[in-house]
Amino acid sequence: PKATLYVWARVPTAETSAAFSKRVLEATGVWLTPGTAFGPHGEGYVRISLCLPEGRLREAGERLRRLLP
């Protein structure tokens, strides 16, 4: 692609960004990049890529909803 788009989201729990990303992956199959992959200031955040077809993004969103209380 000629451009990319990402969303940075705060980790909603007391977990590290790596632990949260791993838990989400295991529970939903959706990969969220831990913020620490981009340096120490990324802790507490995950990066979500929006560079997929709309249908895949909607599917990922539905899977992520399973984690909401």
pLDDT in tens, 36-65: 999 999 999 999 999 889 999 999 999 999
Expressed in angstroms, the distance from the first to the final Cα of the chain is: 36
What three-state secondary structure class fits 31?
A: coil
The pTM (predicted TM-score) of the whole model is 0.85
- Torsion-angle region of 15 (φ positive above 0: left; ψ -120 to 50: alpha; else: beta): beta
What are the pLDDT digits (tens) for 28-37? 999 999 999 9
